[in-house]
Amino acid sequence: MRYFVIILLLPLLFGCKSNKEMPVEFVLLSDVADDIRVDLRYSTNRNFMGRKIDGYESNRCYVTKATAQALREVQSDLRPLGMSLKVFDAYRPQIAVDHFVRWAKDLQDTLNKSSYYPNVPKSELFERGYIAARSGHTRGSTLDLTLVYLENNVELDMGTPWDFFSTRSWPGSELVDPVLQKNRIMLRDVMIKNGFKPYDKEWWHFTLEEEPFPDTYFNFNIR
């Protein structure tokens, strides 16, 4: 009996919400900023695993309300420059993170290695921090994104693709051409101006400074 009780308490101990419905504190990004481009790669096979990820049932972008408001301000700054945000990932259910962990443990599955982690042994993805059992995305205020031109939706060249596991993807990497570095700086500056903090190992990764759920990991599917 005591083991059953422990199992029930695990989600509480880790701050993981097991509810299957979207909390009222979350919003569909298009309801707040409908001109931000959304391309959730984990709802497709265009990602490091090469398959649709558990919990991603649609290409709909959910974030906390505070994050959506801040992104609307970012978009307002970019629009006069003829540019827009393009979101690759936002809220990520815990079930998706669990899918990443299972995949990382299967060392034989290297379908998309050449495109996403050509120089990193799959056995070292945990050790190097590319895969983890908890993700800031699951708290609802972290995003992966880039810049595109409004007129044609073409992405600015950032020196590496999104989710490329390499030191070349670090925002300040000197392995990237200085011209392309300016594109990264443009993205970084507009996000910081509007209340986001960057991540020092991924040029595309930003978290709202004043995120409303810093210790809570949600688990409702993206529908």
Residue 16 has what pLDDT? Answer: 60
Topology of the domain covering 2-208: Muramoyl-pentapeptide Carboxypeptidase; domain 2 (3.30.1380)
Report the C-alpha gap between 223 and 217 in whole angstroms: 18
Band (pLDDT 50/70/90 cuts) for residue 15 is low
- Give SS3 for 86: strand
pLDDT for 114? 98
Give mean pLDDT, residues 97-116: 98
CB environment 67-97: b (16+ within 10 A), e (fewer): bbbbbbebbeebeeeebbbbbbbbbbbbbbb
What mean pLDDT comes out for the span 36-55? 98
pLDDT above 70: residue 17:
no
- pLDDT of 187 > 60? The answer is yes
Give me the percent of the chain exceeding a pLDDT of 90.
91
Q: What b/e readout covers 152-165, taking b as 16+ CB neighbours within 10 angstroms? A: eeeebebbbbbbbb
Residue 139, both tokens: 């708290």
Query: Mean pLDDT over residues 8-24, rounded?
Result: 60
Residue 1, pLDDT > 90, answer no
- What pLDDT, on a 0 to 100 scale, did the predictor assign at position 20? 73
Helices then strands, counting H and E runs in the chain, come out as 5, 7
pLDDT tens readout for residues 117-156:
999 999 999 999 999 999 999 999 999 999 999 999 999 9
Query: Does residue 73 carry a catalytic annotation?
Result: no
Q: Name the average pLDDT for the chain.
A: 93
| Residues in CB range of 200: below 8 A, 6 or more apart | 170, 171, 172
Q: Look-up: residue for tokens 């708290």?
A: 139
Mean pLDDT of 87-111: 98
Residue 23 is predicted with a pLDDT of: 94
Candidates 21, 73, 151, 202; catalytic one? 202
